[in-house]
Amino acid sequence: NAGVTQTPKFQVLKTGQSMTLQCAQDMNHNSMYWYRQDPGMGLRLIYYSASEGTTDKGEVPNGYNVSRLNKREFSLRLESAAPSQTSVYFCASSERSEGRNSPLHFGNGTRLTVT
Amino acid sequence: AQSVTQLGSHVSVSEGALVLLRCNYSSSVPPYLFWYVQYPNQGLQLLLKYTSAATLVKGINGFEAEFKKSETSFHLTKPSAHMSDAAEYFCAVIYSGGYQKVTFGTGTKLQVIP
């Protein structure tokens, strides 16, 4: 059982380049999330999708766009990368029917460096 | 703004010693509370969560946490540290009104000294 799979694992971009981070889950979860992790700042929510067909902004959405392609897949796009977007990006999912305290299931992250 | 505070970005303990990692939340209404652990180069995984059924919650790997409403705290403990416990630990909360918008603390890195 793969859980939450993120690709790529590592990426180096030049300022201004674009890229899409991919995320897929095989647990049939309704809700999916994108977080970024920076030293000393914990995890901050970028965007989330409560269910297929819906997306909402989180705490730090500027510079990012998302697509909930289907129930399994939730992608994060950087249209014009900036050095401030150097971070580790985590995708997560949870099952809405389990209630509001259902746990998050995380992928192993994408380590992005923007030069 | 509602927040969650973890005191101590780094904690060092000797192998076999008590582990205590602190977490305080900022709400008069108890939120949903969680502890997650992150091993190097991995995503976070759930250690335990508060369900209101009991104030002392047991999790995986011998960890437990006690909910204290009067202190707005949810501290994580383990009686005897093991080398394999070295990791980063995150307290997380969901406040009312924010559907599954999980707010994470800044994390505490636990070092276990042999």
| Per-residue pLDDT tens digits for B69-91 | 999 999 999 999 999 999 999 99
A104 to B102: CB separation less than 8 angstroms, yes or no: yes
The amino acid sitting at A70 is N
Confirm or reject contact between A39 and chain B (CB < 8 A).
no
Residues of B in contact with A30 (CB under 8 A): none
DSSP string computed for B64-113 = EEEEEGGGTEEEEEESS--GGG-EEEEEEEE-TTSTT-EEE---EEEEEE
Beta-bridge partners for B104: B92
pLDDT tens, per residue, chain A with 115 residues:
679 999 999 999 999 999 999 999 999 999 999 999 998 888 999 999 988 889 999 989 999 999 998 999 999 999 999 999 999 999 999 987 767 778 899 999 999 999 9
Where are the extended beta strands (E) located within A14-73? 19-25, 31-37, 43-49, 56-57, 64-68
Residue A39, preceding peptide bond in cis (omega within 30° of 0): no
A58 to B101: CB separation less than 8 angstroms, yes or no: yes
Residues of B in contact with A97 (CB under 8 A): none
Confirm or reject contact between B3 and chain A (CB < 8 A).
no
User: ∠B7-B9-B11 over CA atoms, to 5°?
Assistant: 90
Q: Is 90 exceeded by the pLDDT of residue B47?
A: yes
Give the per-residue pLDDT at B100.
67
Beta B44-49 vs B102-104: how paired, if at all? unpaired
* Residue % of chain B over a pLDDT of 70: 95
Confirm or reject contact between A109 and chain B (CB < 8 A).
yes
Q: What is the residue-averaged pLDDT of chain B?
A: 91
Closest partner residue to B43 (CB to CB) among A40, A102, A106 is A106
